[in-house]
Amino acid sequence: MGRILLPELERVLLDESTIKQRVRELAEELSLDFKGKDVVLVGVLKGSFCFLADLARGMSIPLGIDFVACSSYGLESVSGGNLSITKDISGVVQGRELIIVEDIVDTGLTLRELTDFLSSKQPAGVHTVTLLDKPSRRRMIIDPDYVGFSIPDEFVVGYGLDYAERFRELPYIGVLRKEVYLR
């Protein structure tokens, strides 16, 4: 059954079946690359919850699942660190392969700081997968190891991504109308 596009959205960027297909491909690729390894998927709250759930269920190797949450002060911050960890992972990571699971990489600040933070816990390795990448917005020298879709610089919502805590539950990814976030 087709869905009616929400009035706040300009268009659908990635529909449900396109996302499903690409997530399945990423799950297969990760399962091959990490076969025989002790792997933990580390979801970054809140935006990654849909992607992590589908990715984990598509993978064919045993997995640990953990979560981190952080809040960003932005790149212009003068208050010391640019990112504070508001929820740390809870499990043992030493000797394990951590895969940070992101919904989107924008400036790269979150991924840069989280990679450094988790590396300091002495896991076997820290790797990164993101569903969406906006390379044109990058401010930090970091690129995710695995990317679902490289997208243009538009305000996207759905499949975990929000605008003011709305739209996360949508099964597709849409472009928010400018009038919604500029008013």
Residues of the shown chain interacting with ligand PRP in the complex, contacts defined by CB under 6 A: 44-47, 72, 102-111, 162
- Residue 103 is among the residues annotated as catalytic for this protein: no
Residue listed under structure tokens 């690359």: 33
Cβ proximity to ligand PRP: between 110 and 115 the closer is 110
In the structure, how many helices (H) and strands (E) does the chain have?
Answer: 4, 9
Residue number closest to ligand PRP, CB atom: 47
Residues for the chain: how many in total? 183
Residue number, 45 or 56, with CB nearest to ligand PRP: 45
Q: Which CB sits closer to ligand PRP, 84 or 122?
A: 84
> What is the closest distance, in whole angstroms, from the C-beta atom of residue 46 to ligand PRP in the complex?
4
Minimum distance of ligand PRP from residue 112's CB (angstroms): 8
> What does the alpha-carbon distance between residue 153 and residue 133 come to, in Å, rounded to a whole number?
9
Report the distance separating Cα 129 and Cα 52, nearest Å. Answer: 10
Q: Which of 54, 66, 103, 106 is catalytic?
A: 106
CB of 105 to ligand PRP, least distance (A): 5
CA distances from 43 to 39, 109, 111, 174 (A): 13, 16, 12, 22
Query: What does the angle CA 168 – CA 172 – CA 177 come to, to the nearest 5 degrees?
Result: 75
The alpha carbon of residue 178 and the mean position of all alpha carbons in its chain are separated, in whole angstroms, by 23
Q: Nearer Cβ to ligand PRP, position 47 or 174?
A: 47
In the complex, what is the shortest distance from the CB of residue 32 to ligand PRP, in angstroms, rounded to a whole number? 26
Nearest Cα neighbor of 113 from 86, 91, 82, 155 is 82
DSSP assignment letter at 137 = G
So which residues are the catalytic ones? 106
